[in-house]
Structure formats: structure tokens, C-alpha cells
Structure 1
């Protein structure tokens, strides 16, 4: 009863003064801004080092060694031998993926990236311009376009694999009903059409993601700029060229980086759709690296492939930044 009475006797002023005393004790430590920045950033930098920087460093080291993780023998330093095996006729690549090799995987990744991303950007910008207008059901439409992007990639791949199936797929059935096809066509069993199907699926899925990013950029452009342009007699095309595109450059940079790097590192869609086939026609670099590392258990060349993927992705990001980044654009 005494403890209850004592706790009930505490007033809000007493608790407030206690908090002020604690704050005063923190202020008495008298950290400089630089020291405070170091204290606050240390946990974040430590986390990034543990989950990002160290794995990258360990992958680079692993690419210079040979050996298997499951073996008891220590890894042996071989220098650039893993890289020479990747781009030559290495002993592990003669039968891998029916002779596809890293050159085929690089070709597929570049086609997949630099065909799909520009189309996604154009479609996403068109959708964003439409959604930026005022109309009934605007917010419902903004939420609805995210549905394709919200579906997990592997699940999305399996759904489309069933739809493109040459025997019971709904796409074959629809095309035969409208007279485009006379017989069933195995879309995913032929190299050319399998890659085209994969491009179609990724464009369908991620154009809405591009639209969402670009819509945010469009909504940040002040309306008075368009009003002034209309008063000067500027057409819609000129408003788009002289106002929208220049002020949208920072957003375009973000959208391109956010889509190009995942596209270049695509794994879930080719893995779930075709498994990389037929005849390595849809084997991207990351899928090639996965098969090399975990199917063939060649961890040295797998680490070398992962290192190359990281370097190419970093180069692409730097090219985008150098081309589109304008710090004084506004």
C-alpha cells in the first residue's frame, strides 16, 4: 500500500524534470558535430560492412582461389586462373548449359536489360502522365497499376509458364480462337520465342513500378511553370520538352538505376519460367553463376562470375550518374 501511495504521489512535473535532467546529462558530454556523426553512423556502417562489404570482399578473394567449400582441404591461390577459365574453354564449361558459357549469359543479360528497360521507361512515363491528370477514380487506378509489380517474381514466372505452355496454355488457346495460330505453338520451347516471352513478362510486370517512380517526380514539378508556359502560348509538346523532361531528370536517374541493375541481375524470372533453357537461350549471368556454383560446385569460377557481375553493374550505374545527374537542375 505504501508503494502504491508513493507511486501515485509522483506528479507530471517530477517526471518532466527527470527527463530534463537526463537530457542535461547528455548535453554535458559535449560531443562535437563530427563526433556525434561518427557515433550515429557507426552502427549503420557496421551493419553494411557485415552484410554487404565483407561478402563482396570475400567473393573477390574467393575468385582468386580454387577449391570447394565442402572439402576439408584449404583453398589454393590461383590468381586469375578462374577468370581465364570463364572466358576460355575451361574444363567445367565444356558441358555446362550445352556449351552456353559466360559469353552467351552476358549476351542474354544485355539483351534482357537494354531491350526491356527502355520499353518499361516509355510505358511507365506514359502511364505516369495519364495518372497525373485529374479524373474520377484516380487513386484507385494508381493502386491498381501496382498489382503486376506486387506479385513475387517466381510466382509470376510460374503463372506465365502455365499460360505460355504449348499444350494447355491459355495464350495458345486465345490465339487459335482469333485465328492468329492454326496449331499450338511451343513458345517456351524455342530459343527466340522463349527470350521474347521473358521480355514480355518483365515489361508487363515492372512498367507499373517505373510509372510509380515517375509519377512521384511529376507531382513534384510546380504547376505555376505550366501555367506560365500556357500563357506564353507553349504547346503541350513544348511544355513536355522544356519543362517536364528537364525537371524529371533526377527521377529518371533513380528509375533507370532501380530497374537496370535488377534487370541485369535477373534470376527469379528465368529460373522460374524456363530454368535457363531452351539451349541456354534465357540463361542470364546470375542464373549462369547459380548453376556454375551450386550445380557444378565450382566455387572459384562462381565467385569470379559474381565479381564480374558486380563490376559491370557498378559501371552501368556510373554511366547513368555521369549522363543524367544534374545537381542544379532545379
Structure 2
């Protein structure tokens, strides 16, 4: 406990106190110009209603805001699709990197380059590649005959989410592959030798041996990526800052906190995002029956 104390204190100062203040502000009428003079308003920012003389009930608050629910849907859809694709592709890459071949160390280092590049740099680089006038992707697809005209990938409502998913999968698949590779290298080689002697097909070996044994590593990798995907901000903000088709919970919370000077309203959205992520993580761990250290319950 003595050795852990500095880390615990640092977490409380860096993470715990801002989280507590955010939750507190969500129950007030705080604004950027008057943070310390805010008054307590209870659950008004979350959900409130007014009954008119005609008997009609008008709801207000974040939980009655269509923009918020659109952001929730965008976030959940982005997280589900991106994490699924990254898990599948990460497993494929990890299986390749786990094989013995000449130059494996160089390939491993090269695979990690997209993940090592800062997200802002990756987003800006891809924004030029996806540009409808100067982008290399449009030029390449036109030459290959895959498209008939230039496409504004990040500005088009039909392709904006797809463009963001492509960039995120390209950048984060190496992270998934790295974690799964660590699990693959823990699998004893003699199990595969015994399976080969018994004449077990490689596909059956994968589903009967590899997947069950690396399941804890996959679960941990998916949990980490799910947490990142649910709070995605920088990639969306750079590629599609004003698109309702890709606006996530973090982006809309930042808009209300800073751009619209609705600090209490934005704090409410941030608090709901925290609650949603915490609930999903707990549910995922419970359903997976796997501790973060990889042991079975």
C-alpha cells in the first residue's frame, strides 16, 4: 500500500477530482463565465418537463435532446463496427506475426507504425488523402474505374462514417494485433505438435486450440479498444467536425462545454458518457467471465 499510495494520490488529483467536479456541475446552472457562482438545479439538466395550460407536456434536458440521442447512436455504431473489424483484422495480423519467417522483427516494427503516429497527425494526413479535389484515393479509384466521379468522403452524409471507420481501423488494428500476439506467444508449442501428430486440420486447431487459449487476451484487447472507441473525439473532430452523421458523445459534449457556453449542459453529457462507459465495461467483463488479469472466475 505504501508503494501504491503515490499512484493512488496522483489518480485522485488528475482523474478523480475533475470527474467529481464534472458530476457536480451537471446538477448546477454553471457557465464558463460563472463557474463558482453556479446554483444547484437538481436533475433539471438531465430531464425536466413543463405542463402547459392545454395539458401538453414539454420535456427538456439532455435525455430529451434529439441531438444527444443521435450522438449516442453514432458512438455506439462506431464502437461496435470499429472494434469488431479491429478484433478480426488484429487476430489475422497477430497470427501472421506469430509465424516464423525471415525478417519477422522488421515486419513487427513496421506494423506498429500506424498506431505510433499521433491521432491528430493521422487524421490530418487522411483528411488530405480523402479530399475530393486533391485526395489520392479519389485519383486512384478513378484510374481503377471503381468510381465515376470524385467523392467528398468526409463531407458526404453517406460516406462520412465509413471514412472515419477506415482511418480508425487503419490506425488501431496494430494495437489489437500487439495484445493478441502477446497471448499467442503464451500458448505452448507442444499442443500444436500433438495436434499435428493426431492429424488435426489447421482450421480446427485454430477454433479448438488457439481461440480458447487466447480468449483472455482478446477480451482484454476488446475492453481497452471499446473504452477508447466510446470516448472517441480527436479523429471525429479533425475529419468531420460539423457532421451530424458522425458526431459522437464526446464531440457534442465539447460543443456545449466550450462553443455554446452551456457548461452545465455539457457536464451533464460528459457525466452520462462516463456512466454509459462504466456500465458497458462492467457488463462486458461480467458476460465474459474474465478478469483483467486473464484468469477465469
- Please report the TM-score for the alignment, with normalisation by the length of structure 2: 0.90
Partner of residue 55, structure 1: 18
Deviates more, 1:64-73 or 1:256-265: 64-73
Q: Which residue of 42, 64, 83 corresponds with 1:88? A: 64
Partner of residue 265, structure 1: 231
CA contact (8 A) 1:276 1:287 kept: no
Q: Deviations over 1:1-35 (max 9, x none)?
A: xxxxxxxxxxxxxxxxxxxxxxxxxxxxxxxxxxx
RMSD: 1.7
Structure 1 portions without partners, runs of 5+: 1-36, 90-99
Specify the SS of the correspondent of 2:127.
Answer: helix
- Greater helix share, 1 or 2? 1
Specify the SS of the correspondent of 1:189.
Answer: coil
- 2:17 is the counterpart of 1:41: no
Structure 1 residues 81 and 323, CA, compared in 2 at 3 Å: closer, same or farther? Answer: same
User: 1:224, 1:175 → 2: CA distance?
Assistant: 47
Partner of residue 306, structure 1: 270
- Please report the TM-score for the alignment, with normalisation by the length of structure 1: 0.81
Q: Deviations over 1:69-127 (max 9, x none)?
A: 322771111111111211225xxxxxxxxxx6101111110111001110110000001
Deviates more, 1:224-233 or 1:254-263: 224-233
The structure number with the bigger radius of gyration is 1
Structure 1 residues 71 and 145, CA, compared in 2 at 3 Å: closer, same or farther? Answer: same
Partner of residue 143, structure 1: 109
Q: Deviations over 1:26-66 (max 9, x none)?
A: xxxxxxxxxxx3x3332222111111122211111111111
Partner of residue 77, structure 1: 40
Q: Which runs of 4+ in 1 moved over 4 A?
A: 327-330
Partner of residue 31, structure 1: none
Partner of residue 64, structure 1: 27
Partner of residue 214, structure 2: 248
User: 1:213, 1:307 → 2: CA distance?
Assistant: 30
- 2:83 is the counterpart of 1:120: no
